Chains A and B, each alone.
Chain A
Amino acid sequence: MKRTVPLFLAAATGFVLIVASFVPAAGSWGKYAVDWFNILAALAFVLGGGSLLSQHLKKISDQQAGWGYSLVTVVSFLATLVVGLGKFGVAPPTLHPDKVWAGDYKEAGSGFSWIFDYLYTPLAATMFSILACFVASAAFRAFRAKNVEATILLVTAFIVLLGRTYAAIWIGDQADWLASQVVDPAIWHPYVTGLRLDKLTETIMDVFNTAGTRAIMIGIALGIVSTSLKVLLGVDRSYLGSDDR
């Protein structure tokens, strides 16, 4: 019961979806599966919230180190929930002025949009922005031309970093000017414009990056096809966990 039903469920769902994409008659089965999948994805946020809450409440009740921060997390979580569910400061829809609970939960000027604009946005944006500094520090410490491969990587990175800014245009213009002092640009220009850093970056992206990424993509695709098959055929059961007899 604990293992057979889940195995059957996974296989049945997967194969229904596979069949549905080839056999139009099975399309409605596939639609149900996708609809339920999407509802479960929405419910997963509730699960996430619930598990966050239980984790931090335990930390608080045990008075573990740093339980004060857990308290802050719990309070901000619950406050966001209450404000969002209560739709404070939200106007009703114009067609139904009597339905006070039917307005847009994220309406500008509402309590929930205050939380989004002044708490969530700065925190999320800044959290990711400080990675710029860590990338810089890591590059300074670890990005070394130790061998041919690393040197290729490094040179490509330089070209792209320069090629995607005004520096490439400036360097290209200077080189053009210098060269035109010696030879008539009409003769050589068509042959070397491709070597300007901005053009070179485009070539790297369109040709070399496309080739390398495509190989990786093909490899990953094969990997996903085989893991999916393993899951559907019940060969890979790791998602069931191991705490079961």
Chain B
Amino acid sequence: MIDVLSNLDRRWVFAAMFVAVGWPILSGVRFKEEPSEGVRRVFRAIEDLPEGSTVLMALDYDPSSQGELQPMASAFTRHAAERGHKIYFMTLWPAGSPMIERSLRIVEQEYPDYVYGEDYVNLGYAPGLEGAIKAVVDDLRGQFATDARGNSLDSMPLTEGLRNIQNMDLLVNVSAGDPGAKQWVQYAATPHDIAMVTGTTGVQAPSLYPYIPEQLDGVLGAIKAAAEYEQVLSVAYPKFAESVKAQEGLRRMGPQLVAHLLMIGLIVVGNVIYFVERSRGPGGRR
């Protein structure tokens, strides 16, 4: 048995992963979430702002991490719009523009009273990696000649007097890597003391904790935090509990549980093999 397992073709592991993730998706299994303090902190950062506050929504991700980050971007957008904040969208990723469009569609479809240019605006993609942050922090007009739709910034109430982002009430960032959350903390939040929360991939989340709470108000790390955020949101605003669209993260926690158990199982089995083989001594494989 041990010999069979230790020589197992890795494709069997892949197959197990397909089953572990696929089966819960097909069965639609769902679990309750108990939001952690960290997620509540992020929620409060948006919730406690007075209505009509200005929020820079920097969506720095692309399709390769949409599974983790789309639920966060959607939840942030819904929450900000629900609270009546003024939203400025932008991205540092070339493929981030279509991601912004998804959030714009949420605003258009679910908040028909929101007027483009008065309540929300899309500044679009800003090339230059961290240089783009430096530019919008110091002189936004140098970075954006117009908004993403080609409108003059002076023609819209929201951007008319906007010279830089230093006076934003909150910086909300969804980040898939560099440039992203880290650079926003370094170039914007820290030197100009702008309140900031971020939603990031699991890979990146642990590296941002040292910034909390002085330089960063909170982090949503990976899909679990997205699900918890959706949960807090649907308790505060019951209409989201009814909306299937507002529960992408919650839905994805089913496959997550089974796949995590599989991972743990694999590591345990791997170690059992290791200890058995070690107890047999060198060259002891029979």
Binding site for B on A (CB under 8 A): 27, 30-31, 34-35, 37-39, 41-42, 45, 93, 95, 102-104, 106, 108, 113, 116-117, 120-122, 124-125, 127-129, 132-133, 135-137, 139-146, 154, 157-158, 161-162, 164-167, 169, 198, 202, 205-206, 209-210, 213-214, 217
Contact = CB atoms under 8 A, between A and B. Distances in A.
A69 B31 CA distance: 45
A210 B256 CA distance: 25
A128 B64 contact: yes
B221 to A, nearest CB: 8
B162 interface: no
Dominant secondary structure of chain B at its interface with chain A: helix
B36 A198 contact: yes
A5 to B, nearest CB: 22
Interface in B9-24: 10, 13-14, 16-18, 21
Contacts of B63: 120-122, 124-125
Contacts of B50: none
Given A116-B95, A129-B67, 11 more contacts: A27-B138, A38-B127, A38-B135, A45-B94, A93-B150, A141-B270, A144-B274, A161-B263, A205-B221, A213-B209, A214-B210
A34 B92 CA distance: 15
A144 B278 CA distance: 12
A31 B270 contact: no
Kindly state the interface size class of chain B when it binds its partner.
35 or more
A195 B163 CA distance: 49
Contacts of B274: 144-146
Given A164-B260, A213-B209, A35 B135 contact: yes
B263 A37 contact: no
A30 B94 CA distance: 24
B262 interface: yes
B227 to A, nearest CB: 10
B83 to A, nearest CB: 26
